[in-house]
Structure 1
């Protein structure tokens, strides 16, 4: 067995608190009642202990009047705060003389206050009290519970905030498709319940997906309200970078190995894109998007990998472009020239030419936006 040198210096108080602060936890308010007075303290040190019998433990500083009262009463309640309850958490983390002033609550079985708006309540009676350093550790049986829908308030590195959960992958894809491809009016709010009903997914997963899309820059969030955002340039550039990586991989495998029919189909798809004028402006944005998508998807399909093709289509680039390209969008005839050069490179078996042109082609949106910005 490996021996540990327990005589070595441990972390300082500041180091310990800094590193522990990186552990995100939920926020609760521990409440009790003694001699006709309601007491409460904010706490994140709450943990399930057993489910038979239902038990939990909490830790409170020995100097806390709430902790001292629990030692005497042997009863308390744990109120799990909702994500919009940061003011309540701050109030009970302070030394305010009357923390319950203006706080709505009900009286629980043990007499402890149950704070309204909390997403969960645990009413407890103490089985054992242990002194651990600067804190009391109360081991308690749960005698009553209640819960309501909602998301918890989180505590991380000294700050309160929302605790976001990862959305179901399938739900995230479905909601992203809905936001990118279906919703076109940036002034229309996004309703998680309506989206869930239309996509036949759970409301909670719809909500979590919208939260995730806020991080992607596709959705704006104000409080509990979500709205479609105009697609940020950086989001578009990131999508095109992913597109380029896939196309380069496919081209590296296929240039120089296509048969006559495949080369003919590639040239046919090129001619379709040439039918859409993009010199200065997109005359037919929808037509260009369809033709351009067909051309590039065919390039990827030549690799013969179903997984690669599904990954490429999963970028939903045509839907993204519907949000970002209109008749007023600046365009360049260089897009046509890139397509011609790519096809010529495939026909000549010149892989370096194809890779170089694909790379330049992926930069066109960024170059066009930079030119538009400098001209305005």
Structure 2
């Protein structure tokens, strides 16, 4: 394994840096790709972690800004304090699995417990920390990038050789589509998601508490103190978790509520109100000072809303500004956390010959005051 980053000067600011904690074969192959549409708006993606490093979109006055948190250097993604997963594809299983264990049939599999007593986002070396194969693509009205990775049998404790393809498509309507496909030679859990932190004011431009959020979800999956779902799916009506009508993220985040105490704010999965497996509306976010709007549609049954509770000012972004507490939010389309251990949740187990396929689209636009 190589222990320095080489050949990146045209793509990132370079320095020699130890990567002993990341097990990959070839860091010379890390590249940064820019997807550009007809209006000149761009999305940047690196094949390290399949990370979206930048999304440039206009505000209501036509001023272009970067709405995705992240870094200019690959070293910062590798060495970031607390590993926030900025912009990455996480897997083989996004979100948490209780006590790092699950069973398929009569066999139990042990995973890393990298989030207190639980397993999080694929383990110590998840999909966010590997180098993907990348191939630029083009189509009618879009540019894109196809990324692929082979997760080997028992990598991070998961059974099966899993061939994964994630395709980003950026079109002329400022829509970013993420298409996921995976196949396996053994039954295995799969739950991939995109982990970009957004701030529609612009990255590093203060908190996201004034962003107005609507979630197409009348129920959610409450958690225990370890952020593992209890298995219940109560109605959000009358609780701080009611986003069925758009409201500022900060309105109820400080309410006296056990669930908010467990998550240190919002860090919960919401059950989407749409037919299972069909493309439908998941969320809409509006930022009133810039007029920027982001709408999310997905085939997934759930969405994890996280409001940047662990950001604390230690991390500096691309413009050199610190990322404040709640300086970004994530909306991660997904199956529900801990599904392999929750028989009443939709299954995340895929089998040989039964491929995994999902799609999520982020649409950016503006509205007047």
Measured against the shorter chain, the TM-score band is under 0.3
Task: Tell me the TM-score normalized by structure 1.
Answer: 0.21
Max Rg structure:
1
Higher helix share: 1
